[in-house]
């Protein structure tokens, strides 16, 4: 399988405008994931083609819907969606947070070697972390229910900021259990190239 060709085709289907350097960086992060997954157990996905679809394309699919500003990727795991988004939009500030030391060590090395100066990686439990200033956007992917995510990260979000949660099917039950101080802004379907499954981006704000 030609990784670079598959990545270029998917980016094209997503309608994203990227340069050769960005395409090369997308390929590099997948190659690093393949290489280091055996040692660090970074993801349950072993097949390179599935890594491209389920990590890279899935992450980039939300890019057109992301709100502007300083971004926190909470429960980033091996760096998704944060790393692909940082490569796509380098003029934004990113913080990638996870409590798994193996994954954050891998990420710190990747960020250093790839010179992604717009990215900071932190090893911490989200409820214990106190940043110097809040975030405009908090993104999560397979992190927790909407209620738990907003509860754990409420202290990290700016007053006029938004949560943007990546979900599979439209999480109707999760929306129904949101507290009164959290307002649903939108639920938008997202198409991921080569993935035959539902994806939605749920945007929430403080009421």
The answer to whether the annotation marks 190 as part of a ligand binding site is no
The answer to whether the annotation marks 80 as part of a ligand binding site is yes
Contacts of 59 (CB under 8 A, 6+ apart): 80, 81, 82, 83, 84, 85, 141
Six token digits for residue 31: 């190659």
The answer to whether the annotation marks 141 as part of a ligand binding site is yes
Task: Sheet containing 119-123: give its strands across.
Answer: 119-123, 94-98, 71-74, 135-141, 157-167, 200-206, 182-189
Encode 45-79: b = buried (16+ Cβ within 10 Å), e = exposed. Answer: beeeeebbbbbbbbbbbbbeebbeebbbbbbbbbb
3-state helix/strand/coil string of 135-197: EEEEEEECCCCHHHHHHHHHHHEEEEEEEEEEECCCCHHHHHCCCCCEEEEEEEECCCCCCCC
The answer to whether the annotation marks 127 as part of a ligand binding site is yes
Cis amide bond preceding 81, omega within 30: yes
The annotation places the binding site at 75, 80, 126-127, 141
The annotation places the binding site for S-adenosyl-L-methionine at 75, 80, 126-127, 141
């Amino acid at each position: 399988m030609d990784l670079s060709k598959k990545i270029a085709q998917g980016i094209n289907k997503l309608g994203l405008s990227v340069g050769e350097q960005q395409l090369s960086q997308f390929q590099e992060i997948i190659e690093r994931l393949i290489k280091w997954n055996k040692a660090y157990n970074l993801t349950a996905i072993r097949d390179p083609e599935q890594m491209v679809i389920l990590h890279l394309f899935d992450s980039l699919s939300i890019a057109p819907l992301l709100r502007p500003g300083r971004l926190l990727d909470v429960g980033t795991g091996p760096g998704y969606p944060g790393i692909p988004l940082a490569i796509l939009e380098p003029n934004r500030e990113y913080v990638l947070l996870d409590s798994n030391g193996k994954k954050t060590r891998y990420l710190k090395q990747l960020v250093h070697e790839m010179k992604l100066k717009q990215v900071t990686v932190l090893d911490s439990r989200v409820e214990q972390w106190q940043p110097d200033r809040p975030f405009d956007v908090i993104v999560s992917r397979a992190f927790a229910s909407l209620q738990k995510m907003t509860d754990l990260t409420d202290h990290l979000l700016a007053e006029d900021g938004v949560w943007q949660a990546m979900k599979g099917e439209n999480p109707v039950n999760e929306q129904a259990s949101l507290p009164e101080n959290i307002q649903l802004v939108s639920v938008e379907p997202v198409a991921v190239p080569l993935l035959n499954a539902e994806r939605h981006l749920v945007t929430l704000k403080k009421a």
